[in-house]
Amino acid sequence: MAILKVIYFTSGALIFSILATGILRRYSLSHSLLDIPNERSSHTSPTPRGGGLAIALAVLITAAFLYFLHFLPFAVAIALGGGGILVSVTGWLDDHYDIPEIWKALCYVTAAVWAVYWMGGIDTLWLGETVITLNLAGSLLAVLGCAWLINLYNFMDGTDALAAVQAICTGTFSGFLLMTLGRQDLAILCFVISTAAIGFLYWNWPPARIFMGDVGSCFIGFSFGVLAIIGEKSGVMPALVWFILLSVFICDATLTLFWRILKKEKWYSAHRSHAYQRVVQMGASHANLAVCVLLINVTFLWPMAYIAWRWQQFTLTVFATTVLIMCLLWSIIQWRFISIATNNKV
């Protein structure tokens, strides 16, 4: 029965996403909702945006159906649904009117607080075989982590297909792990994120015919944040495993932020200094970048996440190793870019 539910919901999400994204593209074109290239853009022609609303709607509708079918706990449905609607509406409005950063940040933090509240707070952190008691600090850390994930996923949505490919990879493998543990409700949500992203990718594969927009990227980041909180709270899939699966995005966005702060740059302003952006600036196509991220996930992050999940005595070691390798990769890309830029000036 659980397998049939997975098939029904994922096939429905796929078809819905393909059709809805096409409708959103026509809407964006008719309302001149276009992403105009500038000196910080990775694209060269005006492109419709806001297509990620199809992903958000697919997930929210699925969560509602699962709840009314008594297959998803109320706390999970309200945490994901309530916060997800706030994040989606904020992103949709920002795609239209460019909301000030302070108001967006307030909405995203509010959504994170909402999710943590309905999950009853987080007072412990699973570190493999060790569990650390954090009390109130755990909930504060969960709010900050979820809010940061919302923002960083938006930061990393800067080239065709990249954000969708990462959503597909994370959603697919986390769904597999959760299904194995008997949490079919959470697994279906993960699979729906993945299949909805596949439907969107039909329109977003380079050269993209529509962009995800804040409405999609922020919602995906929030969804994974909520699922990580649920996994940590219930112990079925600790936050460290989610971190490993999302480490391509988390490490690039976080290291770039710290680097810009150290260089005393306006870290809150738009820029093109993420590692993935450097790769494109050095000549890689958007398609090649997306394929490379796919390969990193499947050949490296999936096995590492499985080991960390399956053998808890190795969780911390695997986590540290993953972070170290991703930091080294970030450093190599940045060093290579600086070297090329310096040589071109000589």
Q: Three-state SS across 66-87?
A: HHHCCCCCHHHHHHHHHHHHHH
Cβ contact 156:169 at 8 Å: no
Model pLDDT, residue 346 = 46
Q: To the nearest whole percent, how much of the chain has pLDDT over 90?
A: 81
pTM of the model: 0.96
Residues ≥6 apart with Cβ < 8 Å to 338: none
Give mean pLDDT, residues 274-291: 96
Which run of H or E residues covers position 124? strand 124-127
Distance of CA 101 to the CA centre of its chain: 19
What's the pLDDT score for residue 45? 82
Mean pLDDT of the 118-130 span: 89
pLDDT attached to residue 5: 82
pLDDT band per the 50, 70, 90 thresholds, residue 288: very high
User: What does the angle CA 209 – CA 83 – CA 155 come to, to the nearest 5 degrees?
Assistant: 45
User: What is the rounded average pLDDT of the residues 8-34?
Assistant: 95
Give the pLDDT band of residue 40 (cuts 50, 70, 90).
low
- DSSP letter string, 201-259: HHHHSSSPSS--HHHHHHHHHHHHHHHHHHHHHHSSS-HHHHHHHTHHHHHHHHHHHHH
Give the per-residue pLDDT at 39. Answer: 60
Distance (Å, rounded) from C-alpha 257 to C-alpha 275?
A: 11
pLDDT of residue 269: 74
Write out pLDDT tens, residues 228-271. 999 999 889 999 999 999 999 999 999 999 999 998 887 777 78
Indicate the domain borders of the chain: 2-35+47-345
Stretch 143-162: mean pLDDT? 96
176 has pLDDT over 80: yes
Mean pLDDT score, 112-132: 91
- Outline where the chain has alpha helix (H): 2-30, 53-68, 74-97, 101-118, 136-155, 162-180, 184-204, 213-234, 239-245, 247-262, 275-281, 286-296, 302-310, 315-345
CA distances from 109 to 173, 197, 230, 295 (A): 27, 24, 17, 33
